[in-house]
Structures are given as C-alpha cells and as structure tokens.
Amino acid sequence: MSNHLKDITLKIWRQSGPNDAGHFESYKVDEISDEASFLEMLDYLNERLINEGQEAIVFDHDCREGICGTCSLMINGQAHGPERATASCQLHMRKFKSGDSITIEPWRARAFPIVKDLMVDRSAFDRIIESGGFITSPTGGAPDANLIPIPKPVSDAAMDAAQCIGCGACVAACPNGAANLFTSAKIAHLNLLPQGQAERFRRVEAMVETMDEYFGSCTNHGECEAACPKEISIDVIALANADYRKAKIKNRKQLARN
C-alpha cells in the first residue's frame, strides 16, 4: 500500500544566475507519496511554486531512468543522495522518513559553474571527450560479428568502464574536485579494447592534459567510487595512470622518429 510522507523540509540552493551569490531557501512539502522519485517530489514542489506565482526551482533531468547522467544533485552532502549505485532520479522518497529535513545543493567545482539554482554547466567533460578524438575503424560493409576476438575478462572490464554516464558525481564527491574517475573510465573503456589501440597513447596524453586544465588532482580518497551511480571502480584510475606513464614514453619515441 502506498504510504504518504508528511512534513518533508527541503533546504534548496537558489541562485538566479552564474554571478549571483546564491543562498539556501526552505520549502515544506506535505503529503508526498513514498513511491515518488526524488525528482518527482521536486516537480510536485515546482507545480506548487508556479501556482503560487513563484519561480520554479531549476534542476537538470532527462531520462529519469538512471542512464543519461543529466540529474546532478548533492543531497544531504552526498552526490546523488544516500543510496549507493543510484542516480538522483532513481532515488525514491521511501528512502526518507516523515519529518526529515533534506538539503539539496548543486555540484560544486570550478569546472562546473552554476547556471541557475541546481543546474551546472558540465561542458568541461565535453572538452575532455573531444580531446580524446576518434578511433580508427574500417568503413564499408558491416563487419561480421565477433570478427575481432576479445577475451571475455577484457571485454567485461571495458564494459564496466563504459558504463560511465558522465554525470559528474565523481567530481562533485571528490574533496579535491578531481575528474580522474570520469576521465579514467573513458580512457579505460577504449584502451582495453583492440579497437582503441591505434590511438591509445595519444588519447591518454591528450585527455589527461585536458583534464588538468579544469580539475583538481586525485589523492585516492575513494569518494568518487562511492558516489558513482554506476559503481565504476577506482581501478580504472590506476589503469589510466599506468597508460599515461607509458604514453609519455611511447609518444616521445614516435615523435623522435618523425
């Protein structure tokens, strides 16, 4: 049976634009179904605010099924809230109790400037992806399935890394505002596979160095792994670190041949 939570107090970050100082504002939400998702709860609040002639709270959301990486809320001091391996959109109100006070803040990082309220600009991630460039792949007729043999553990590891949805929770959770988990996941998922080998070392160098322009550095707290809605392991960071070292040597050797 559906149950209704009463008297949820929300403390939400309101900021009218990138250059506004911003502040917390309190809202009461009464009678919210515990079957509502966290974002539906915000929708419900926004409906009310609009009906009252107030400005709705701006927050990022898209697929609402935990696969697009658009939602980005710092809920009670945790990226994506208290539930492990869950994006904000898949967090449900049944995880909270009547009378709870919930604080919602945007991601905070120099590379993620606040657009408005809870929405941040994550295009620094796009810069990293762009710097990674292309992979060489033959065009023409569709290749036969399983033409390229890949050991099962390798493809599993690559797919684990490829689960990254680029939500930015790793940066948000990191005490240093580092993007090593994101960048390393992207590096790992291509570098482990045969298809990614041709550009492997150029890609690592370019991506790591682009990351440096925006983000902090990894000090191995492991907060990113705990916050990641896809549970990507910090093992990929070690893999990217190793590849970066190899890239520095191999790329120089290749340049020397020119």
Q: List the interface residues with another protein, window 132-171 (CB under 8 A).
A: 132-134
Q: 3-state DSSP call for residue 105? A: strand
Distance of alpha carbon 246 from the chain centroid: 27
Q: Please identify, using beta-carbon distances, which residue of 78 and 195 lies nearer to another protein.
A: 78
Q: Please identify, using beta-carbon distances, which residue of 8 and 211 lies nearer to another protein.
A: 211
Q: Could you tell me the smallest distance in angstroms from the CB atom of residue 69 to another protein?
A: 17
Confirm or reject binding of residue 98 to another protein (CB under 8 A). no
> Tokens representing 55?
């400005």
Confirm or reject binding of residue 113 to another protein (CB under 8 A). yes
| Orientation of helix 200-214 relative to helix 235-257, angle to 10° | 120
Q: Could you tell me the smallest distance in angstroms from the CB atom of residue 80 to another protein?
A: 11
Confirm or reject binding of residue 49 to another protein (CB under 8 A). no
Residue from 14, 64, 127, 250 touching another protein (CB under 8 A): that is: 127
Q: Could you tell me the smallest distance in angstroms from the CB atom of residue 146 to another protein?
A: 25
Residue from 25, 197, 248, 254 touching another protein (CB under 8 A): that is: 248
**By CB under 8 A, how many residues form the interface with another protein?**
74
Residues 222 and 233: their CA atoms lie apart, in Å, by 9
Q: Please identify, using beta-carbon distances, which residue of 119 and 164 lies nearer to another protein.
A: 119
Confirm or reject binding of residue 208 to another protein (CB under 8 A). yes
Q: Binding string to another protein for residues 78 to 97, with x set by CB under 8 A, is what?
A: x---x---------------
Confirm or reject binding of residue 109 to another protein (CB under 8 A). yes
Site for another protein in 216-245 (CB under 8 A): 216-223, 225-227, 234-235, 237-245
In 3D space, the residue among 216, 227, 199 whose CA is nearest the CA of residue 69 turns out to be: 227
Q: 3-state DSSP call for residue 128? A: helix
> Tokens representing 89?
């959109």
Residues 99 and 29: their CA atoms lie apart, in Å, by 10
Following DSSP, what letter does each residue of 132-200 receive, concatenated?
Answer: H-------SSPPPTT-S---HHHHHHHHHHHT-----HHHHH-TT-B-HHHHHHHHHHHHTSGGGSTTH
Residue from 26, 50, 65, 175 touching another protein (CB under 8 A): that is: 175
Residue from 38, 59, 182, 215 touching another protein (CB under 8 A): that is: 215
Place of tokens 């990293």: 128
